[in-house]
Amino acid sequence: MRAAVRWARAEWGPLYATVRAPLLRRRLRAVPMTLAAVCLTGALHLAHSRPWGHRLVQDIGAVRAADPLWLALLRTPLSLFVPALDLPVWGALAQILVVFGLAEICLGRWRTLGLAYAVTLAGTLYARVGIALGPGTPLGLPGSDAWVVDTGPSAAVVGLAVHLGLRYGAHVTAGAVVAAMAVEVVVKENLAGKEHLAAIAVVLALCALPALRRRLRGRRAPAARAGTVAAPLPVRPAASRAGVARASPAHRSPVGRTD
């Protein structure tokens, strides 16, 4: 039991320490963006399930690979908050509340939204590339996936969870999320699973950029030091040295004293 507690502290301790104080001090006011996202998702689900709102939600938030690219890019930001039709809405709300809430406290609201949009956009663009490659390639998708409605926060949730795990040292948790998404692709082999892997690939690339930048900077520093040559000391002309020698006390004629 103690070993499990020590492992949990080592795995989630830094993340817990980061979110504990803001939540105790401000409670729900610490995550205003997350609460707004939960309310927006619930409102869109309610409208989508009504005859008067179904068409409206489809027009502003439903993304398909068969749509023109400009239209898909325009709909992608709102598609994060349109629950997927094959998943219960409470699952989407719980994912947003927990993962978006943690990310908002740890990363800030704008960085959280930016990362969520980046990984969702990666999945949207991957769908087009995969359909173009065709089902005969490892990364390819069948042509029928072009008409699959691609909505929901799952890709953003996966990307944020992996990013938080790597940032705060919860490597086992991040690895478990990656493994679960890989198993989903093997078992189901659907569009959503491969989009989740595309989101993970983007997060891993973003996490690797700072380390790569530091490594390149470390390689440039020794090269710059090795290429630096000390400036030579100025050499005085011979005539100047001779004048200094004549003016020095050692070369003056002795002056006798008179008593």
Instruction: Locate 72 and state its tokens.
Output: 């898909």
Contact call for residues 73 and 122 (beta carbons, < 8 A): no
Residues 2-32 pLDDT 10s = 888 888 888 888 899 999 999 999 888 899 9
Say whether pLDDT at 220 is over 90. no
Contact call for residues 251 and 245 (beta carbons, < 8 A): yes
Buried b (16+ CB within 10 A) or exposed e, 170-204: beebbeebbeebeebeeeeeebbbbbbbbbbebbe
Residues 182-204 pLDDT 10s = 998 888 878 888 889 999 999 99
Please state the separation of Cα 256 from the chain's center in Å.
88
| Interhelix angle 171-187/191-226, nearest 10 degrees | 140
- pLDDT more than 90, % of the chain: 36
CA angle 91, 97, 98 (to 5 degrees): 90
Say whether pLDDT at 239 is over 90. no
- H or E element in which residue 33 lies: helix 32-48
Say whether pLDDT at 230 is over 60. no
The span from the CA of 19 to the CA of 241, in Å, is 73
Average pLDDT over residues 90-101: 91
Average pLDDT over residues 160-168: 93
User: Which pLDDT score, from 0 to 100, does residue 224 have?
Assistant: 56
Say whether pLDDT at 251 is over 50. no
Whole-number average pLDDT of the chain: 83
Q: Which domains does the chain have, with CATH numbers?
A: 2-210 (1.20.1540)
Residues 34-49 pLDDT 10s = 999 999 999 999 998 8
Residues 138-149 pLDDT 10s = 888 888 888 988
Residue 205 exposure: Cα atoms within 13 Å on the Cβ side:
10
Going by C-beta distance under 8 Å and a sequence separation of 6 or more, which residues neighbour residue 174? Answer: 161, 162, 164, 165, 166
| Interhelix angle 32-48/51-61, nearest 10 degrees | 130
Distance, first Cα to last Cα, the chain: 104
